[in-house]
Amino acid sequence: MLSERMRKAMNEQVNAELYSSYLYVSMSMYFESIDMRGAANWMMEQAKEELIHARKLMDYVNERGGRVWLDAIEKPPQEWESILDVFQAALAHEEKVSSLINGLVTLAREENDHMTDNFLQWFVAEQVEEEASAAEVVRKIKLVGDSGGGMFMIDKELEQRGSVSASQSEGEE
C-alpha cells in the first residue's frame, strides 16, 4: 500500500504528465498554424508519449491499492516567438519534469518504499531520452540559423518521427 504522502505525490505527477501532453498538443497546433507539418507531427507524437507516462503512473497507483484523483489541467501557452523558442521551451519543460521525477525518487527513498523507487527508475531513464531528443532538435535549429532551406530539411526529418509502439502504449518498455 502506498503511503498517503507518496500517493499524493504520484497523483501530482499524473497531472504533470497530462499537462505535458496538453502542452505538446498546443505546440503541435502552433506548428500547424505556421505550416511546419513535421514539427507538428513530432509534437503530437510527444503528446502521445506523455499520455503513456500518465497511464503507467495511474496503473501503478492502482496496483498498489491507491486511488487516482484527477485534478484540473493548467492551460498551456499557445504562442511562441519562433520555432527555436518552442523547442527550447520543450527542453526546459523536460528538465523540469526530470526534477519532479528526482523529487519522487527522493521521497520514495525517504519512506523506504523500494517498490516505488524501483518503479520510478523507468522514468529516470526515460527522462534522459526526453531531454536528449528535445536538445538534439534545439542544436539542429541553431545550426541552420536563418536558413529557410535548412529549416525545411529539419521539418522533413521531424516528420519521420513514428508513432509509439503498441507495447509502449500498453505501458511496457
Where do contacts with ligand FEO occur on this chain (CB under 6 A)?
A: 17, 20, 50, 53, 94, 97, 130
User: What is the nearest approach in angstroms of ligand FEO to the Cβ of residue 149?
Assistant: 30
CA atoms within 13 A on the CB side of 23: 20
Query: Is the CB of 131 or the CB of 151 nearer to ligand FEO?
Result: 131
Q: Least Å distance between CB 117 and ligand FEO? A: 18
Whichever of 7 and 53 has its CB closer to ligand FEO, that residue is 53
Least Å distance between CB 44 and ligand FEO?
14
Residue 116 CB, nearest approach to ligand FEO (Å): 17
Nearer to ligand FEO, 55 or 140 (CB): 55
Residue in the shown chain whose Cβ atom is closest to ligand FEO: 53
Long-range Cβ contact pairs of 36-43 (< 8 A, separation 24 or more): 36/83, 36/155, 37/155, 37/159, 38/154, 38/155, 38/156, 38/157, 38/158, 38/159, 38/160, 39/83, 39/86, 39/154, 39/155, 39/158, 41/158, 41/159, 41/161, 42/137, 42/158, 42/159, 42/161, 43/90
In the complex with ligand FEO, which residue's Cβ is closer, 17 or 155? 17
Nearer to ligand FEO, 25 or 151 (CB): 25
Give CA separation, 109 vs 33, 80, 89, 126, 159, in Å. Answer: 45, 39, 30, 19, 41
Q: Least Å distance between CB 14 and ligand FEO?
A: 11
